[in-house]
């Protein structure tokens, strides 16, 4: 079994902490995705696992071995980079075989592994070509194959699809997922694309400013974001976030913000007191629009985005409490396709109380998880 454990791993440059007390235990054969904005420390974390960056604090174990201070060649891992890093003067076959030759693997074994990897990645017909004769997707397959032939304990992938166009990214994403299922080897994948994270990872690790914000299965994180950062980062279209306060009316907790007043489920607000400053979070698919007068939250359509099978409607909430100079709060609603919506139309919004999230306005933590 190959379990990967990072215990309080940190990376500092002087007083600047790029990665701070990173704790993660990865089960054998698991696919973990590190996701977050640029500069959050995810690639630095991957490079520390690979041995390409020294660790300032903490330990890294791979397969029960403490590899914290070992050289990259001693860790039995394989890394796939964003820029492919292929030898331009060598054929695809030679690119795949080069690392094995450097390790003095017998020729028969090299032939076996290269042919196996080529078949696995459907690049058998490309073995005699040079990198300049390949498309971006084909070069990425060769880069994956070069890692695959080593039979490593872990694959580390650093934004491997960022140089590809949107359509090819989707296809390669599917191929990487299928490859993981076939080989069953640990994979740690770095991306800033939350769609890649949600579709690929057994678990995702959301990072910001060098710290882990939340770890969990994709839908667990989506349904129960730990804090405001995760709520705003995970989800496309993004979650609606509106500032306001809580009050209690006849035993019912009410959220009151600019342009809206709505009841909140007790299980979502049990950690908050009346008068608390909070942020209300509602995903666009958890709101509905109706033409019924007098019921729900008044709003006016600003823009309609047709997404094919779905329609995203952006509305402005009516607000008597918002100063005239201020921009009315906006709210996004995601529905099945609708061809009848026009800017300027007025609707009433209904929110699902059980799907709302309340975040402490100061700390950002999800009050339902307290």
The confidence band for 321, taking pLDDT boundaries of 50, 70 and 90, is very low
pTM of the complete model = 0.89
Q: What is the pLDDT of residue 237?
A: 92
Q: What is the mean pLDDT of the chain?
A: 90
Q: Name which of 53-57, 120-124, 166-170, 325-329 the model is least confident about.
A: 325-329
Query: Higher model confidence: residue 265 or residue 12?
Result: 12
Is the pLDDT reported for residue 37 higher than 60? Answer: yes
**What's the CA gap between 146 and 123, in Å, rounded?**
12
240-369 homologous superfamily: Nucleic acid-binding proteins (2.40.50.140)
Is the pLDDT reported for residue 322 higher than 60? Answer: no
Q: What is the pLDDT of residue 258?
A: 81
Per domain, the residue ranges of the chain are: 4-233, 240-369
Q: What is the pLDDT of residue 167?
A: 85
List pLDDT tens digits, range 326-366. Answer: 677 899 999 999 999 999 999 999 998 889 999 999 999 99
Q: What DSSP element (H or E) covers 229?
A: helix 228-233
**From start to end of 209-329, where are the E strands?**
211-216, 240-249, 252-257, 260-263, 277-282, 287-290, 297-306, 310-317
Q: What is the pLDDT of residue 335?
A: 95
Query: Mean per-residue pLDDT for 59-73?
Result: 94
Q: Token pair 């790029």 is at which residue?
A: 18
Options 3.40.50.1820, 3.40.47.10, 3.20.20.150, 3.40.50.300; CATH of 4-233 = 3.40.50.300
């Amino acid at each position: 079994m190959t379990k990967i454990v990072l215990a309080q791993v940190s990376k500092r440059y002087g007083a600047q902490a790029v990665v701070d007390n990173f704790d993660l235990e990865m089960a054998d054969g698991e696919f973990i995705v590190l996701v977050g904005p640029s500069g959050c420390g995810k690639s630095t974390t991957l490079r520390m696992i690979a041995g390409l960056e020294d660790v300032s604090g903490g330990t890294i174990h791979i397969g029960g071995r403490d590899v914290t201070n070992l050289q990259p060649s001693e860790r039995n891992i394989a890394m796939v980079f964003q820029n492919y890093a292929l030898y331009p003067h060598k054929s695809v076959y030679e690119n795949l075989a080069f690392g094995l030759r450097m390790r003095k693997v017998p020729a028969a074994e090299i032939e076996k592994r290269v042919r196996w990897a080529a078949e696995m990645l459907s690049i058998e017909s490309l073995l005699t070509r040079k990198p300049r004769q390949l498309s971006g997707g084909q070069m990425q397959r060769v880069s994956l194959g070069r890692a695959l032939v080593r039979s490593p304990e872990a694959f580390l992938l650093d934004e491997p699809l960022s140089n590809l166009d949107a359509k090819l990214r989707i296809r390669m994403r599917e191929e990487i997922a299928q490859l993981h299922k076939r080989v069953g080897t640990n994979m740690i994948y770095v991306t800033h694309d939350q769609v890649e994270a949600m579709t690929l990872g057994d678990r995702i690790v959301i990072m910001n400013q060098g710290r882990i914000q939340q770890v969990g299965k994709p839908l667990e994180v989506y349904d129960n974001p730990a804090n405001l950062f995760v709520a705003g980062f995970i989800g496309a279209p993004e979650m609606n976030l509106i500032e306001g306060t809580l009050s209690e009316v006849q035993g019912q907790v009410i959220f009151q913000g600019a342009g809206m007043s709505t009841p909140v489920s007790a299980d979502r607000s049990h950690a908050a007191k009346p008068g608390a400053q909070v942020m209300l979070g509602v995903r666009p698919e958890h709101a509905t629009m109706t033409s019924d007068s007098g019921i729900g939250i008044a709003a006016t359509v600003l823009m309609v985005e047709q997404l094919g099978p779905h329609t995203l409607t952006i509305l402005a909430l009516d607000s008597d409490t918002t100063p005239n100079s201020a921009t009315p709060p906006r709210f996004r609603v995601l529905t099945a396709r609708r061809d009848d919506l026009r800017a300027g139309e007025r609707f009433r919004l209904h929110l699902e109380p059980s799907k709302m999230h309340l975040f402490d306005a100061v700390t950002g933590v999800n009050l339902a998880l307290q």
